[in-house]
Amino acid sequence: MNIKGKLIEKLETAQITDSFKKREFVVEFAENPMYPEFVKFELIQDRCDLIEPFNVGDELDIDFNLKGRKWTDPQGGVKYFNSLHAWKISPAQGAEAPPPPASSPGDQSAPPVPAEPEWLKSSNENKPEMEDDDLPF
């Protein structure tokens, strides 16, 4: 699976047991910008350092696996856990186009309209004029 989002927080690596470590990080996923989601990912074992080169605010492209586990507690109750194991992190490509250059207040001129190419002029000569409310299909 893949998701693109903005890095919100990266936590320190936690040594869970002698042979297991993990690191968590949070990404803001804004598929709908009015209602962003904050998604927590895990990096495990040798992948804990994948997040290191990135800073809070960076736009990321994250490849991950969705994991689910079932656990039965000592009283016989069943619980389910989900986790998102990231396995590849890279800078997002084309996350946002740069804003257009600002124009000065006195510059109110419209950009020039290109002339109609010669080959198009000849193909339009024999076509009937259409009304404003006519649809071409």
7-42 in b/e burial notation, b at 16+ Cβ within 10 A?
bbebeeeeeeeeeebbbbbbbebeeeeeeeeebebb
Structural domains in the chain, sorted by start:
2-91 (2.40.50.140)
- pTM of the predicted model as reported, rounded to 2 decimal places: 0.64
pLDDT score at 99:
39
Q: What is the full per-residue pLDDT of the chain (137 aa) written as tens digits?
A: 999 999 999 999 999 999 999 999 999 999 888 999 999 999 999 999 999 999 999 999 999 999 999 999 999 999 999 999 999 999 998 644 333 444 444 445 445 555 555 545 555 555 555 555 555 54
pLDDT score at 93:
85
